Amino acid sequence: MPEPFGLLAELTYRCPLACSYCSNPLELAAYDDELTTAQWQRVFTEAAELGVLQCHLSGGEPLLRRDLVDLVRTAAGLGMYTNLVTSAIGLSRSRAEGLRDAGLDHVQVSVQADEPATADRIAGIPAFERKLRAAAVVKELGWPLTVNVVLHRQNVDRVAEIIALVEDLDADRVELANTQYYGWAWRNRAALLPSREQLAGAEEVVRAARARLAGRMEIVHVLPDYYAEYPKPCMGGWAARQLTVAPNGDALPCPAAQTLPLPRASVRDQSLRAIWEDSPLFTAYRGTGWMRDPCRSCDRRETDFGGCRCQAFQLTGDAARTDPVCHLSPDHALVTDAVEAANAPAGRDEVLVPRPHRG
């Protein structure tokens, strides 16, 4: 039985932004009954006992939790490395100082683009300048700073300018991660999926930037699954290294797993250890015994574990099928058809549907 390395604590799905690529669930009302401070503190204690070393505090926007400082103090006191994943809206200097004093180790700030008009249009509110001010506070207080930029058709042509902005922010790391198509991103896939030409241009820019900035800033570039020959090993394997706890207490092997037709597991009803070791949700696709061909007989079965179960379900309606991203999948045409549509001139004028605000 593997021990989990990381816990993604999605403290709330409330968020001041309205990003059209948000991967949080579409039906957010089901998550309004959030775990209390004491319940989250118990989850953190059980996570540490289970072997978790990293606690990522996310959402939605975790800064909307008034008890965030107390939660950071608890996680840090248990010896876990704490990372705040935030839009930075609401990260005032006084709030940041409280988080630092509570033991927060790292801050990751999301940025939607490199200039105000585009960034604010994608975010759904005037947020760009506030994000830059908050990033400056992060550096002034001595934290390592990661900037996360979700890439898609609306901003991928500006990768060079985005990297220049991140340099100006003196970030230690930038994640240029292409959109994963769940939640609102799935609904907006036709308007978000980039073309081959766009991806080739971005790759060239990233390659040059990595050479220029080696030793100064780490650049992580995650290509779109849809353009890959083989799928990524989702989360390092199903329920192998990481777990997620949603705002309402649902425990998940990955952030999108609430979409699967499997029995739910909740920290309100069971301990984290019992869920990790024995729940049907966590054991359903652990390892390789569940696989069918072509995965079962593939020599990559312990490399990519058949790809993403949530993506397989999203595209085929069957979570046990080979991820259609894989070129060996019998359902691969579902992906190639979407890619061809993204590369057709008539398919490049789709309109984004924004995620509703839930502040």
Asked if 71 and 17 sit in the same domain, the reply is yes
- My answer on whether 192 and 282 are in the same domain is no
User: Looking at the domain assignment, is residue 145 inside a domain?
Assistant: yes
- The verdict on 113 and 67 lying in the same domain is yes
Joined together, the tokens standing for residue 347 give 């398919």
Query: Token digits for 98?
Result: 């409280």
Total number of domains in the chain: 2
Q: Which residue, chain included where needed, has tokens 């107390």?
A: 70
Residues tagged in the binding site annotation for [4Fe-4S] cluster: 15, 19, 22
Are residues 143 and 24 located together in one domain of the fold?
yes
Q: Is residue 113 part of a domain?
A: yes
**Whether residue 186 is found in the same domain as residue 68:** yes
Helix axes 196-213, 333-343, angle to 10 degrees: 90
pLDDT for 152 equals 96
Q: Tell whether 54 and 165 lie within a shared domain.
A: yes
Domain final residue, candidates 174, 194, 227: 227
Count Cβ atoms within 10 A of the Cβ of residue 161 and give its class: 0-12 exposed, 13-18 middle, 19 or more buried.
Answer: middle
Same domain, 184 and 240: no
| Residue 350 is assigned to a structural domain of this protein | no
Q: Are residues 132 and 223 in the same domain?
A: yes
Q: Distance between terminal CA atoms of the chain?
A: 39
The reply to whether 195 and 253 lie within a common domain is: no
Per-residue pLDDT of the chain (359 residues; tens, 9 = 90+): 689 999 999 999 999 999 999 988 888 788 899 999 999 999 999 999 999 999 999 999 999 999 999 999 999 999 999 999 999 999 999 999 999 999 999 999 999 999 999 999 999 999 999 999 999 999 999 999 999 999 999 999 999 999 999 999 999 999 999 999 988 899 999 999 999 999 999 999 999 999 999 999 999 999 999 999 999 888 889 999 999 999 999 999 999 999 999 999 999 999 999 999 999 999 999 999 999 999 999 999 999 999 999 999 999 999 999 999 999 999 999 999 999 999 998 655 566 766 776 66
Distance of CA 145 to the CA centre of its chain: 17
Could you tell me if 26 and 155 lie in one domain? yes
Is 262 exposed, middle or buried, given 0-12, 13-18 or 19+ CB atoms closer than 10 A?
A: buried
Beta strands in the chain, from DSSP E residues, in sequence order: 6-10, 54-58, 81-86, 106-110, 145-151, 173-178, 218-222, 242-245, 251-252
Q: Is 277 helix (H, G, I), strand (E, B) or coil?
A: helix
Q: Are residues 242 and 309 in the same domain?
A: yes
The CATH number given to whatever domain includes residue 27 is 3.20.20.70
User: Has residue 79 been placed in a domain?
Assistant: yes
Give the model's pLDDT for residue 345. 81
Cα–Cα distance for residue pair 291/260, rounded to 1 Å: 17
Residue 71 and residue 22 share a domain: yes
Q: Give the C-alpha separation, 306 to 165, whole Å.
A: 37
Beta-bridged to residue 221, according to DSSP, are 176
Give the pLDDT confidence score for residue 359 in this predicted structure.
64
Domain span at 136: 6-227
| 287, part of any domain | yes
- The DSSP result for 228-254, as a single string, is -SS---GGGSTTTSEEEE-TTSBEESS
Domain termination residue (choose one: 181, 203, 227):
227
Residues annotated in a binding site? 15, 19, 22
Query: What does the pLDDT read at residue 251?
Result: 98
